């Protein structure tokens, strides 16, 4: 598939992952990239989605948009996260079918996996249990669209793609302490503690849980590789296949930011899912894709971006 002669809509194209995907589309020769903004198009409503399709007339839709955050905000807004993500997927897919678009690419989430899925997570285990409770509403809403796309392929012959990325990180991430994921949240916490010369920082939970992280540029390459090579919604994991304990993650980020104080663990806070690590064999076999950026290198780049961003804002 070539991009140069197609109208492409990237929902969430102004976000962390979306900006990188749009840049890589441009590198591939795509000149007609539309990014619907929330102020004009409410993609949780049928009317907003219909207007977006009418205005942009896309042939390819890359659905990256999501209402999402870390454990804290998932616990605060489970209803909103279920509704918003379910509604966006539902209306975008149905309106795509009605208009006969060429292909719909859906970006899922590792939160769709069962809480006690065997590690590393294999795509065949997606339905073998209930997700971790703190992010189940979000994970189930995103995973429901997997079923919708499969049904639409069977009944209508609609071409679609499903990718399941692990937790993302990198330059340009969301560093808001109220809604950020663990890597940017820890980077900000360590940088601010160092600047304030605090003796310690507090980590959530016990630090025993493990996570896997994927650099944002690698994720964007994986999404576009799937869009170019796949026509059916077989779920495909995007990850590195390597996990790190949260305790070790905090120590790594403390070193990279230069924070030398103590790390105190608050066991009253949830750890979330015990382990997350993906089996990425399907991505390599079906897409010829493999992550390129090592985790320590990626963290170093992310810390450098954040510190330069803070410095530029202070200037």
Which of 113, 138, 152, 306 is catalytic? The answer is 138
Q: How far is CA 92 from CA 16, 131, 266, in A?
A: 21, 24, 41
Q: Is 113 a catalytic residue?
A: no
In angstroms, the Cα distances linking 204 to 174, 176, 264, 269 are 18, 16, 9, 5
Report the pLDDT value the prediction gives residue 38, as an integer from 0 to 100: 93
Q: pLDDT tens digits, residue range 19-69?
A: 999 999 999 999 999 999 999 999 999 999 999 999 999 999 999 999 987
Task: Say if residues 265 and 203 touch (Cβ distance below 8 Å).
Answer: yes
Residue 177's pLDDT is: 81
- Which pLDDT score, from 0 to 100, does residue 315 have? 43
Among 178, 72, 177, 83, residue whose Cα is nearest residue 138: 83
User: Is residue 175 a contact partner of residue 120, using CB atoms and an 8 Å limit?
Assistant: no
pLDDT at 72: 76
Architecture category of domain 8-170+212-243+276-293 in CATH = 3-Layer(aba) Sandwich (3.40)
Rg of the chain over CA atoms, in angstroms? 19
Residues lower than pLDDT 70 in the chain = 311-315
Characterise 37 by phi-psi region: left (phi > 0), alpha (psi -120 to 50), beta (else): beta
**pLDDT digits 0-9 by tens, 204-246:** 889 999 999 999 999 999 999 999 999 999 999 999 999 999 9
Closest CA to 153 of 99, 88, 97: 97
């Amino acid at each position: 598939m070539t991009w140069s002669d197609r109208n492409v809509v990237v929902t969430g194209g102004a976000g962390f992952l979306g900006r990188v995907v749009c840049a890589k589309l441009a590198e591939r020769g795509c000149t007609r990239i539309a990014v619907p903004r929330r102020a004009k198009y409410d993609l949780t409503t049928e009317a907003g989605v219909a207007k977006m399709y009418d205005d942009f007339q896309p042939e390819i839709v890359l659905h990256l948009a999501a209402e999402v955050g870390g454990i804290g905000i998932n616990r605060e807004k489970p209803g909103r996260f279920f509704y918003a993500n379910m509604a966006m997927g539902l209306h975008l897919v149905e309106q795509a079918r009605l208009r006969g678009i060429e292909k719909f690419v859906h970006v899922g989430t590792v939160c769709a996996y069962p809480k006690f899925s065997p590690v590393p997570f294999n795509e065949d285990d997606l339905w073998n249990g209930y997700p971790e409770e703190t992010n189940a509403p979000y994970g189930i809403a995103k995973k429901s669209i997997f079923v919708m796309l499969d049904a639409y392929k069977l009944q209508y012959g609609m071409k679609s793609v499903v990718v399941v990325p692990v937790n993302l990180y990198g330059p340009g991430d969301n560093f808001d302490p109220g809604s950020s994921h663990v890597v940017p949240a820890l980077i900000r916490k360590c940088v601010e503690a160092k600047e304030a010369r605090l003796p310690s920082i507090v980590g959530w939970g016990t630090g025993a849980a493990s996570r896997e992280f994927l650099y944002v540029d690698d994720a964007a390459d994986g999404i576009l590789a799937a869009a170019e090579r796949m026509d059916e919604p077989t779920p495909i994991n995007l990850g590195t296949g390597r996990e790190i304990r949260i305790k070790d993650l905090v120590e790594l980020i403390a070193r990279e930011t230069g924070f030398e104080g103590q790390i105190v663990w608050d066991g009253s806070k949830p750890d979330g899912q015990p382990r997350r690590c993906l089996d990425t064999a399907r991505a390599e076999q079906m897409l010829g894709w493999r992550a390129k950026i090592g985790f320590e290198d990626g963290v170093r780049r992310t810390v450098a971006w954040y510190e330069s961003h803070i410095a530029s804002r202070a200037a």
